[in-house]
Structure 1
Amino acid sequence: MNYDQLKQEIIEYSKTIGIDKIGFTTASTFDELKNRLIRQQELGYQSGFEEPDIEKRVNPALLMDQPRSIIAIALAYPSKMNGRVTSKKGERRGLFSRASWGLDYHIILRERLKKLEEFILEKVPDAKCKSMVDTGELSDRAVAERAGIGWSGKNCAIITPEFGSYVYLGEMITNLPFAPDEPMEDRCGDCNKCIDACPTGALVQGGQINAQRCIAFLTQTKDFIPEEYREKIGNRLYGCDSCQTSCPENKGKDYHFHDEMEAEPEVVKPLLKPILQLSNRQFREGFGQLSGSWRGKNPIQRNAIIALAHFKDETAIDDLVQVMKEDARPVLRGTAAWALGKIGGEQAEQELLGAKEQETDINVLSEIEKGLQMIKR
């Protein structure tokens, strides 16, 4: 088997199925990554969404018998919407981050990897392949970096010369010995714009992130968001783009190669007040195709409440009062109470005082008290 020729055939085929960039690397262990992951764990900087076994994250041999190489792929996604909707008084809107526009990227990349796998098996029937996207054990960024897709930026994203950091990543472990590509030189230099732009200081230093402070992580949690971060979240419903939009490498980068990645403005920048009353079915029908829906409606509804507080939207007081008084979920009742305090006014104060007499949950009562204190100030 001429593996150099097969590699070239794979590269050419990848272009025909909508893969924007492809790279190859060895299946050796990611020793440098292992040290970084151990340090992140020691510092408590992990999100908790990662594969907990560090060895599996750095050693492909634990995921496949006798792996020889890894194929990395990247697909560019848009940074601007085709069509716009505007947020205005009384009709305030939230925002999903760019990586959640269009169809869930896990579905898109798995489909591309499946086609790539079928192509390889057609050429080499006894080949072994194991593909993964984001939720797999390996670090997508570490694989992409070593395969020459791009360099690992100070914002902890892979930055490509062609598409900036607006790329989805996936990889395939194989038992075929493809020649590895050269990693790319780091081009961040002394630029620290992403670090300076991070709203919560989650970027501790170039290439190191404290996920517990990252808005992209916080918007996916299900508990109360610590008060110090609520104002920083603004009107974000899912994710955060600050470290990407501030990056000079992303200036002017906006590619619309894949129809399924196009944003529906009313979905990714939705009206906030209607979100508060969505049933599970309505949420699935309206937002279920987005990658940002994976945690269900609870975090999105909580974030919508925080967004209404951010706008100090007085037209939302009745909606927030209904949540505070009637919702079965303490996190939503409490966050609504805090939001009413943030918006302020006599009606909000009276409703909070009334809720204080009826509420029994200690955490919700704490949020009611915070709301009343904000009004008194």
Structure 2
Amino acid sequence: MDILQLQQDIIDYSKEIGIDKIGFASPSPFSEMKSRLIHQQELQYQSGFEEQDIEKRVRPDLIFDHPQSIIAIAVAYPSKMKVRVVSKKGERRGIFCRASWGEDYHHILRRKLKLLEEYIAAKVPEAKFKSMVDTGELVDRAVAERAGIGWSGKNCSIITPEFGSYVYLGEMITNLPFKPDSPMEDQCGSCTKCLDACPTGALVQGGQLNSQRCIAFLTQTKGFLPEEFREKIGNRLYGCDSCQTACPVNKGKDFHFHAETEPDAELAKPLLKPILHISNREFKEKFGPVSGSWRGKKPIQRNAVIALGHFKDETAVPDLIKVLTEDPRPVLRGTAAWSLAKIGGAEAITALEKSAEVEKDDEVLSEIRTGLSLFR
């Protein structure tokens, strides 16, 4: 088997199936990443969504028998909508981050990795693979960096010269010994625009993220959002792009290569009020195809409630009162109390006063009383 020819054939085929960048990396342990992950764990900066076994995250040999190389892929996604919708008084809208526009990227990349597996297996029947996208054990960024896809930016994203950081990442461990590519030189230089743009100071320093303060993480939590973050979340329903949009490399980067990554404006920037009362079935039918739905409707509804308070949308008061008085979930009732207090007005105050008399949940009562104290 001519491994170099096979490698070139794979590169050529990857372009045919819509893979925008491909690289090859050694499967040796990611020793530097291990030290960083341990430090993150000690500082309690992890989100909790990651693989908890650090050894599995940095040692391909623990999750694949005798790995010989790793293939890394990247697929570019749009940064702008072709069809735009406008948020206006009485019809306020939330926003999903760009990585959640279009079809769930996990499905997109898994299909492309599957095609790669089938192509290689047809040429080398004894080939073995383990492919993963985002939810696998390995750190996608570390693999992509080693494979020369891009450099690891100060915003903790892989930044490619061609597409900026607007790329989805995936990888495939294999028992075939491909020639590794060279990592790319860091090109962030002295720029700190992403750190300056972070709304919550989650980017502690270049390349270090405190996930517990990151809005992208906070929008996915299911409990009460801490008070200090509610104003900062704005109208974000899922994810955050501040550190990406601030990046000079991303300026002017907008690629529409793949139909499946194109956003439906009504999904990417949906009206807020209808979200408050959406049923489980309606939520799955409408938002199920996008990656931002993976945590279910509760975080999205809570964030929609906060967004209405952020906009001080008086037309939403009846909807928020309905949540406050009828929703069975304390987090939604308490968050509605916060938003009503933000919006203000006689109707909101009356609703809060009435709820204070009948509410049984201590956390919700605390939110109601805090809200009422703002008026007094």
| TM-score normalised per structure 2 | 1.00
Q: Deviations over 1:24-62 (max 9, x none)?
A: 001000000000000000000000000000000000001
* AA matched with 1:93: R
How is 1:88-237 mapped onto 2 (pairs within 5 angstroms)? 88-237=88-237
Q: Give the distance between the partners of 2:303 and 2:373, measured in 1 at CA.
A: 22
Distance, in Å, in 1 between the alignment partners of 2:111 and 2:159 is 23
3-state SS of paired residue (1:289): coil
The corresponding residue for 1:14 is 14
Tell me the secondary structure at the aligned position of residue 121 of structure 2. helix
Partner deviation per Cα, 1:287-328 (whole Å, 9 max, x = no partner): 110000000000000000000000000000000000000000
Amino acid corresponding to residue 24 of structure 2 in structure 1: F
Q: Matches of 1:208 and 1:373 in 2, distance apart?
A: 38
- C-alpha deviation, 1:345, in angstroms: 1.3
* Separation in 2, partners of 1:6, 1:235: 48
Dislocated runs of 4+, deviation >2 Å: none
Which structure 2 residues correspond to residues 351-370 of structure 1 after superposition, within 5 A? Answer: 351-370=351-370
- In 2, are the aligned partners of 1:345 and 1:375 still within 8 Å (CA)? no
Task: Tell which deviates more after alignment, 342-351 or 248-257.
Answer: 342-351
Once superposed, what is the RMSD of the aligned Cα atoms? 0.5
CA distance in 2: counterparts of 1:69 and 1:336, whole angstroms: 51
Structure-to-structure mapping, 1:287-306, within 5 angstroms: 287-306=287-306
1:256 aligns with 2:256: yes
SS in 2 for 1:299: helix
Gaps of 5+ in 2: none
* Deviation sequence 1:65-91 (CA, Å, 0-9, x none): 000100000000000001110000000
Measure how far apart 1:375 and its partner are.
2.4
Q: Which residue does the alignment assign to 1:286?
A: 286
Question: For residue 345 of structure 2, what is the aligned residue in structure 1?
Answer: 345
State the shift of 1:118 in Å.
0.4
Percent of paired sites with the same residue: 73
SS at match of 1:165: coil
SS of residue paired to 2:222? coil
1 CA distance for matches of 2:221 and 2:212?
10
1:292 aligned counterpart, secondary structure: helix
SS of the residue 1:138 aligns to = coil
* 3-state SS of 1:172 partner: strand
Q: Which residue of 2 aligns with 1:265?
A: 265
- The letter for the 1-side match of 2:210 is N
Q: Distance in 1 between matches of 2:290 and 2:220?
A: 13
Distance in 1, Cα, partners of 2:366 & 2:121: 60
1:73 pairs with 2:73 = yes
Whole-Å separation in 1 of the counterparts to 2:180 and 2:160: 18
* TM-score of the superposed pair, with normalisation by structure 1: 0.99
User: In 2, distance between residues paired with 1:117 and 1:180?
Assistant: 18
Q: Distance in 1 between matches of 2:200 and 2:373?
A: 24
Residue 374 of structure 1 and its aligned partner are, at CA, apart by: 2.2
